[in-house]
Homo-oligomer: A and B are copies of this chain.
Amino acid sequence: MLAKSSTELVRQRNSALVLSALRRHGPLAHTELSDFTKLSSATVSVITADLERAQIIEKAEQQAASGRGRPRVLFSQRRDCGYLIVVVISSDAVQYSLVDYAGRLIDRFTEDRPQEVSGVGSFVASLRDALSRIVARSQLSRDKVLMISISSKGLVDASEPVLRWSPIFGRDEIDFAAVLRDEWPAKIILGNETLLVASALGRQEENRKGFDFRALAALSLGHSIGLGIVRRDDEGGHHISAPNFGHMMHVPGGGLCRCGARGCIEAYAGFYAMLRTAFDVPLDTIPAKFVPIAELDKIAASARHGGRRNQLAFRQAGLALGNGLSRVLSLHERMPIVITGPGVRYYDLLIEGIQEGLAESHVVRMEGMPELRVIVDEQTLVFEGHLNRALSIIDNDVVRRGASVVELRDQAV
């Protein structure tokens, strides 16, 4: 059953609309807000006045008048309205970033994760410590931090910030909400890394191509394989999801995967899997935990000079990816695929297998080969995705807390 609607909800939605226009286009004047949101000038006045009173946005400094007529006054987020901490967990390090409400980076540091003592307990301890440190360095009080946005590779719960499975901690689950609840009033969200990449790409795509954007998949190649899908619904919202692509079954009873199952896509297309094929190690060998990328570079170099066994490694990886992608396309609509992650450096060796793996399927025969694109810089996209997702959730929360606005208004009278 759908929820009822009311005039307050209208205000909430339209306020959120104003904030999202500000996010998308930077500081905007009254008139521009009215243009972007299609709201009437009068409505924009009321909403901006409310938001200003609630200390969420502020009028920017008078800018140099650029034309004639009354000069514009720009609205922008109040940077001190609240803060966001972004935590990017990767296999060898954890990056912590402190960001203000306007999306500007204030502080950042990276902590190496020792390979040996990789228990969940010690990781959580260092997480707690680092989070304390990052607010201390900027002399912020904890309750000014509105959200902690965490990302990792692996399988993330759909509704709660729980890491179900990860290449780093395996089946040792981490419930970040439970871990941080007592120390941090902030909202905790967790996202699969490639999900965030997809989110960032979706935003870019919409800005670029306007309204013909429908859906897009991001495929991240590396030690593990990630997939993120972003789709635009009828009302213009973006739905993002992170399928468990790397561990989708490729060949029943096939090569042993890091996850303990057999025949996963990752067991053919992950870095360790390509190494395994190249060295002709039996497929049921327990996979190496970490593969120095230099190793793979050597294999790639050999393959590029005609080494058959090494070519085969990349070809099999490509086939696994192509077959898997064809299955994804069977279950969704046709969409462009953006390939990223450290593995794109072997794109020239993988592409043939990928295309062959795609070509055999019914969907591709019907609708043609999907558009394949390559983007090298994954890290920037991950961070962008964090900001997209976190700040837009914060905006919605902030707007929902209408009570505080009313409070302030009452005090003013």
CB of A137 within 8 A of chain B? no
Chain A 338-349, CB-CB to B under 8 Å as 1, else 0, gives 000000000000
Partner of A10, one of B6, B249, B333: B6
A357 touches B38 (CB 8 A): no
CB of A388 within 8 A of chain B? no
In the complex, chain B residues whose CB is within 8 Å of the CB of A323:
249, 252
B38 touches A243 (CB 8 A): no
Apart from A1-B236, A2-B236, list 9 A-B contacts with CB within 8 A.
Answer: A1-B24, A1-B206, A4-B17, A244-B363, A247-B330, A247-B362, A248-B330, A249-B326, A328-B331
B330 touches A245 (CB 8 A): yes
Once bound together, how far apart are the Cα atoms of A262 and B257, in whole Å?
27
Q: Tell me the interface secondary structure of chain A in the complex.
A: mixed
A9 touches B3 (CB 8 A): no
B4 touches A38 (CB 8 A): yes
A interface residues, Cβ below 8 angstroms from B: 1-7, 9-10, 13-14, 16-17, 20-21, 24, 36-39, 155, 158, 164-165, 171, 206, 235-237, 241, 243-245, 247-249, 252-253, 257, 259-264, 319, 323, 326-328, 330-333, 357, 360-363, 365-366
In the complex, chain B residues whose CB is within 8 Å of the CB of A39:
4
Chain B nearest CB, measured from A269 CB (Å): 14
In the complex, chain B residues whose CB is within 8 Å of the CB of A362:
244, 247-249, 257, 259, 261, 264
